[in-house]
Amino acid sequence: MDIALDLGTCNTRIYIKDKGKVLDEPSVITYDSIQNEILAAGSEAYRMLGKTPTRIHAVYPLEGGVIAELDLVEEMIGIFLSQVSSSKVVMPRVVACIPGEITEVEKRAVVNAISSFGVRRVYLIEAAKAAAMGAGLDIMSPHGCMIADIGGGTADIAVMSLGGVSVSKTIKEVGKQMDEEIIRYVRRKYSLIIGNTTAEQCKNAIGCVVPPTEEKVFRVKGRDSMRGLPRYVDMKSSEIFEAISETAMGIVKGIMEVLEKTPPELIGDVYTDGITLSGSLSKLDGFCELISQHTKLTVNLADEPGDCVVKGCGNSIEYIAAVESNSLANVNPLLAAY
């Protein structure tokens, strides 16, 4: 059995060859700190965020696309893989994606976390490559293509050709940063304290990165910071735009930096084909328009942008044989085998 794993900061997705995507769960795990026992993972654990008693903790064990709590990530991966792999007797091979700019130590942490389940071998692929393959771009030809994979944990921006990355940049904590900005905005303007889950729901419901043409409204509930009592306010799209615009512009600046460093021949291809957006955050209203406005390039949103990375990981499974045979005849998007 061959498995593709998109171990994201906010969501973990699993793809099995010939079956497609079989799992899509929040990257959250809940544990009892006194009994040292795992209570839940995925959607069940996500519902507990911010609602647990003192002894129980619901956390995201990954930060900025890398592992922050190795033991918890190992447990979470074990739970997810056991849901899709019925027996450990058949040791699967796993293709996992990693952010473009991480250290060897961080790579090894990902490999160790996956290997703890008892897999046969782990192969790594950069998230930008996987996203491009999942979006249907041809990264194996000598033709430049550019993708910006904007997820909750990181934004991976890259120009690729011949199966490799020519220029890349990783921006950490983009979706989470937007949630924090919404929390600060609501507290500053309305003296209302809200949680991360509420901020994320508000962002997904009415978030936009350009001034909205039509106002949408989302009711957020929290605690009044002055009186300590429950209260709600109705947030508008224009207010969310005001709160998250700085982070959105940081992503645009990252894309501009990658374009400035791209070799002339490749940037000619990018000028012809445009930029492709993927990742769950790219679905926010106006992202394509904002990037196109500043780069003067065509910007296209991939089909099912949130699933591009896991689809690309699944597509790269076919290159495992070339890695195992040490074949150098063809270019290979996989980075290494462990």
Model confidence pLDDT, tens digit, residues 222-252:
999 999 999 999 999 999 999 999 999 999 9
Q: Tell me which CATH homologous superfamily contains domain 2-130+311-337.
A: ATPase, nucleotide binding domain (3.30.420.40)
Mean pLDDT on 175-189: 95
Give yes or no for residue 90 having a pLDDT over 90.
Answer: no
Is-contact 209 292, C-beta < 8 A? no
Q: How far is CA 312 from the centre of its chain?
A: 13
From the list 28, 31, 25, the residue with the least C-alpha distance to 46 is 28
CATH topology match: 2-130+311-337 vs 140-301: yes
- CATH number of this structure's domain 140-301: 3.30.420.40
pLDDT at res. 86: 64
Domain boundaries along the sequence of the chain: 2-130+311-337, 140-301
Tens digits of residue pLDDT in 287-311: 999 999 999 999 999 999 999 999 9
User: In whole angstroms, what is the distance from residue 305 CA to residue 160 CA?
Assistant: 18
- CA-based nearest residue to 311, from 97, 10, 91: 97
Q: How many CB atoms lie under 10 A from the CB of residue 88?
A: 12
Q: Output the pLDDT for position 38.
A: 93
133-142, 148-157, 317-326: the lowest-pLDDT one = 317-326
Percent of the chain whose pLDDT exceeds 90? 70
